[in-house]
Amino acid sequence: MGSEVMVVAGDLRAVAACVNGTFAAVAGGARWERRAAPTDWTCRGTLDHLCNTLCGYAASLANRRTVRRRHHPRNGDPSAPVPELLELVVEFAGLLAAVAEGATGDERAIHPAGMADRDGFVAMACDELLVHGHDIATSLGVPFEPPAGIAGRVVARLFPWAPATGERWDALLWANGRAAVDGTAMLGADWWWHCAPLAEWDGTPRRRPETDPPGWR
């Protein structure tokens, strides 16, 4: 299952700073309208999604929500330029970090993947930033270097079924359906998180239900 534990707030702030620092120098130009494969969003739209996600996670955890919202607290802004979205990524990550710091380890809130605890929300937010940062960087043709150690903590927290050997960054990309790893084929689009406490994991890989409507991911 892995023994690594998320560094609450610290990991999140570090990954948000990495995303901002990676793209701040290339924040203009038409290439931000390229598709950030494998998503259907543009690179710019992917940043907007990250802002939505971080805001939604913070709102859910802060209010200990138990019922899933059908309308997101932030639904994007098509007029927002890339530099502003990069700033919002850092600001909303800071908001979620502050909420997580104020929560106890046993408090829960709703997420489409289940009733997540504080560490689950932090890990999902880091996963979103890391994986979509990779998507954008690949599309733009710029290097993306995730902060050391965080990929391993995210894999251990959200994907306890991931291959236990090899580079943790490769395992994270595999768990998110982005790549194959030695001896293990690439996953399909139904990959999913285990965001509830690890003690509740039933020992089988999670898959997104076909009946689940689009949500934060």
pLDDT digits (tens, 9 = 90+) for 40-63: 999 999 999 999 999 999 999 999
Domain assignment present for 211: no
Give how far Cα 116 sits from Cα of 63, 120, 143, 177, Å: 13, 5, 32, 21
pLDDT at 94: 98
pLDDT at 217: 45
> Is the pLDDT at 2 greater than 80, yes or no?
no
Burial 95-112 (b: 16+ CB within 10 A, else e): bbbebbeebeeeebbbbb
Q: Which of 57, 22, 11 is nearest to 135 (CA)?
A: 22
Q: Which domain holds residue 84?
A: 10-200
Domain assignment present for 18: yes
Domain assignment present for 209: no
Domain assignment present for 205: no
Domain assignment present for 215: no
pTM comes to: 0.95
Domain assignment present for 4: no
Q: Which of 173, 170, 129, 152 is nearest to 14 (CA)?
A: 129
Tell me the pLDDT tens digit for each residue of 97-128. 999 999 999 999 999 999 999 999 999 999 99
Domain assignment present for 216: no
The domain total for the chain is 1
Task: Please report, for the domain that includes residue 157, its CATH number.
Answer: 1.20.120.450
pLDDT at 75: 85
pLDDT at 209: 87
Domain assignment present for 5: no
Tell me the pLDDT tens digit for each residue of 123-162. 999 999 999 999 999 999 999 999 999 999 999 999 999 9
pLDDT at 213: 53
